[in-house]
A and B are shown apart, each in its own frame.
Chain A
Amino acid sequence: MAAVTALRSGCRAAGRLVCIHRVRSCSSIRFIKSKYVCVFDKSAFKFSHQQRLFRTSAVSRGQIVQFKLSDIGEGITEVTVKEWYIKEGDSVSQFDSICEVQSDKASVTITSRYDGIIRKLHYNLDEIAYVGKPLVDIEIDASKGVAPEEDVVETPPMSHEEHTHQEIKGHKTLATPAVRRLAMENNIKLSEVVGTGKDNRILKEDILNYLAKQTGAILPPSPKGEIIPPLPKSETVPAAPKDKARKIPLPVSRPLVFSGKDKTEPITGFHKAMVKTMSAALKIPHFGYCDEIDLTQLVQLREELKPLAQIRGVKLSFMPFFIKAASLGLLQYPILNASLDESCQNVTYKASHNIGVAMDTEQGLIVPNVKNVQVCSVFEIASELNRLQALGSAGQLGTNDLTGGTFTLSNIGTIGGTYTKPVILPPEVAIGALGKIQVLPRFNGKGEVFKAQIMNVSWSADHRIIDGATMARFSNLWKSYLENPASMLLDLK
């Protein structure tokens, strides 16, 4: 009796309007927009309906079907299996890619004809597969039977009024493991969700829509107290179960619908290099020292010199000045260009000033250095920087450019920031990070306010051999060279 009532109301549901066709996320986009399909072919509907209603609930193990390699064309009988996209135990849907085979310059993607679970792969990689012979064994649902040889026409999607949910109870729900997980995370019973996929398979969108409906059902009461129905043509809806949740304006917290998953992957390459370097840096007791530099004069100087450098084919930034000034400072405070040995017994004062420049490339952080800055002119430093930058962005820096550094500068200001806390790169003992240049108001000698180009610098040094006073004096010297570039002329060698 109940079955008959359900059947009748089901038919009514079908007779009414119907579906919002869901565009599946699979590859063949056929540009189908929302379509309204009237399911008037009641006989077809009844048939599939019967299948749903009268199926026994327990479904035993499915039937194993051998999926044969279909004809490639051009009379080809054998191909080589080049890549498997699935492995034994994976579940597949119809049209999912199974493998890639190659035959005589043609690469063929073999897609599944069935939904089911892969039970056996008949070939290993690089083996020859034969047309007409089994490629994989797929276990398909007993309830569905073997799909016909031609492409199966998609069954019309069902309407998802609530009362049709009852009809689906007792029916084995089809859903991929990802969809099942999503349902479980949100405490949804799959039997309560109407599937719109092939053969009523439940898709991710169905779960999301089901969740949205739970909360969307709570609408603010309109002035006339009318209920706004979800589908336009619902006049013939039987009164009973539909309005159950609609009138209640209780604020219910929206369940978080988030189907993202954590992804774990091993650390390799650039990240591994950083892990190594920074873990070693932990052993160094850092102290920081920061200051602000007035670069007004330097900015002007650079503007004058830029075109000259351009004529010689070199792009002149601020870095060459910073680097040269640092080298001049290191001449007075050589302990900042030193290295402490592992046992902290000896300190080595390095003769060359190989000043490293932190570079941000596509793959990550890389620190090439300019060799022997102490004997280079500002122009030579600029030219060398250009070369390193070009190689760095092309990913072609050699070991020689990346090793042997004695002191490092990081111009993070090109991206942003003011004060930072840079980490010393062993085996060095100091590092400086430069913030962005900002135009700020400052007082000059006469007590007047003027526009100053201010940049912040943050130094970090190894407190085992460097003390605050040394760092401060070095910073002051470096600052004085940059605030008054003419003074660099006095000490240039």
Chain B
Amino acid sequence: MVFQSYLKNCLQLSCILRTPKAGFRSSSGGLIIQSVSNDVYQNLAVEDWIHDHMNLENRQVLFLWRNSPAVVIGRHQNPWQECNLRLLRQKNIKLARRRSGGGTVYHDLGNINLTFFTTRKKYERMENLKLVVKALKALRPQLDVHVTDRYDILLDRQYKISGTAAKLGRTTAYHHCTLLCNADKFVLSSVLKSPYKGLKSNATPSVPASVKNLFEEDPSLTCEMLLDAIAEEYATQHQTDHQITLINPADETVLPGINKKTKELQTWDWVYGKTPKFSVHTCFNIAYKDSVLDVKVDMDVKHGRIEGCNIDLPEQWLPPALRSELVKNLTGSKFCPNETTTLATALLRVCPQDDDLHSRWNLLCENIIMLM
């Protein structure tokens, strides 16, 4: 039964999307869609698709989505500055860069995302957030929630439960926000703490805030209830059906070209390569046999690649030719642990086969890789 209504909704949706100017029988202004996927890249691609392809002159769209664990950074942010990439890799948490501005957020299934699509002229973030607050209060009148002038929603006047970002194009615009229902706060705080030192960058920094789940305030709340309440408030305000159309972000027939967008969002060049220019100036100690030595590393990274690199070591700890070979090879490579490891180990093949030398080399390279 769910499947049939899903099909019906898909057909209706493809009608809407294909003939934007045709009148759709029950909606005059608003369309509410919900993603069936929890893949952050697919869902971000849907946002891109609607932004690029839908004509929103006579219609506004509300898109509801949730993701399996992922960290989403803003368009102009630096992932090294914003989160613990090592931890992300270990825990298999995805990293995505969205096209809207703003700061870094952690998503998991306990967090809901809302995207309000309008024409550029009708872009109005405060109204959208007030709608969300109204929905929350209608659901649970005792909740103390309000919108700040930084476009956050605070619970009990101190805990952030929602963050906002927006993207404006030539004719369309969207405003999306999160809403913490029951997210894993422990993972959230550990992944959003960057261990990387010595980074200097003009990337947009995130503003850390204390967060709280709505579930902690009222354990009877679930994500589904929140989604429903918001959809209902939206439907009321836009005088349209409270009917949520399900959308499959992998369906090319309904969203032609969507898979290409999804792939683009996953490329290294987008996620890491779009990081604004930054530099790393740091030093670390290496304990080797009976001594401890200081190593200073300076790198300039542009488009995610090492543009300039300098490694300061005590003289003769490594043969100078080898050190300069390392620097030369790092230049132009991605600021990425996997690539650096491959390069470093390849270089080791062509230098004298001395166990001591190999240990030193491995030690140095591992420390450099820790910076990435």
Contacts and interface: CB of A to CB of B under 8 A. Distances in A.
A363 interface: yes
B202 A273 contact: no
A276 B345 contact: no
Interface residues of A, number: 53
Interface string A349-381: 000000000000001101000000000000000
A427 B365 contact: no
Interface stretch (B59-67, B134-142, B227-235, B334-342): B334-342
Interface stretch (B3-11, B23-31, B165-173): B165-173
A349 B170 CA distance: 69
Given A269-B339, A274-B346, A363-B338, A404 B358 contact: yes
B212 interface: no
Contacts of B168: 72-73, 106-109
Contact of A102 (B92, B101, B365): B101
Please give me the 3 A-B residue pairs with the lowest Cβ-Cβ distance, nearest first: A273-B346, A107-B101, A105-B102
Contacts of B352: 341-342
Contact of B342 (A74, A342, A366): A366
A426 B349 contact: yes
B80 interface: no
A29 interface: yes
Contacts of A399: 341, 344-345, 362, 365-366, 369
A78 to B, nearest CB: 14
A425 B167 contact: no
Nearest to A274: B346
Contacts of A341: 352-353
Nearest to B103: A105
B350 A276 contact: yes
Nearest to B53: A29
Nearest to A72: B168
A161 interface: no
A400 B362 contact: yes
Residue of A30, A107, A400 with most chain B CB atoms under a 10 A cut-off: A107
Interface stretch (B119-127, B237-245, B284-292): B119-127
B52 A74 contact: no
B205 to A, nearest CB: 12
A339 interface: yes
A148 interface: no
Contact of B169 (A109, A126, A280): A109
Contacts of B339: 268-270, 363
B297 interface: no
Residue of A126, A272, A274, A342 with most chain B CB atoms under a 10 A cut-off: A272
A453 interface: no
Nearest to A111: B170
Contacts of A400: 362
B170 to A, nearest CB: 5
Interface in B183-210: 202, 204
A327 B362 CA distance: 26
A402 B345 contact: yes
A106 B173 CA distance: 10
B343 A31 contact: no
A29 B102 CA distance: 28
B349 A425 contact: yes
B83 to A, nearest CB: 17
B151 A105 contact: yes
A398 interface: yes
B329 interface: yes
A398 B342 contact: no
A266 interface: yes
A100 to B, nearest CB: 7
Interface in B130-183: 151, 164-171, 173, 175
Contacts of A253: none
Nearest to A425: B349
Nearest to B362: A399
A268 B334 contact: yes
Contact of B123 (A73, A272, A273): A73
Residue of A269, A273, A363, A399 with most chain B CB atoms under a 10 A cut-off: A399
B349 A280 contact: yes
A397 interface: yes
Given A31-B19, A105-B166, A109-B168, A426 B344 contact: no
Contacts of B213: none
A280 B151 CA distance: 59
Given A268-B333, A269-B334, A73 B120 contact: yes
Nearest to A342: B352
A111 B53 CA distance: 16
Given A106-B100, A107-B167, A397 B349 contact: no
A414 to B, nearest CB: 21
Residue of A269, A366, A397 with most chain B CB atoms under a 10 A cut-off: A269
B166 A276 contact: no
Contacts of A108: 167-169
B120 A273 contact: no
A276 B346 contact: yes
A273 B167 contact: no
Contacts of B341: 397-399, 402
Given A125-B202, A348-B353, A403-B348, 11 more contacts: A28-B52, A28-B171, A83-B76, A109-B169, A109-B170, A266-B332, A269-B334, A269-B343, A273-B343, A277-B349, A396-B89
Interface string A59-102: 00000000000001110000000110000000000010000101
A395 interface: yes
Nearest to B329: A272
Interface in B294-334: 305, 329, 332-334
B114 to A, nearest CB: 15
A394 interface: yes
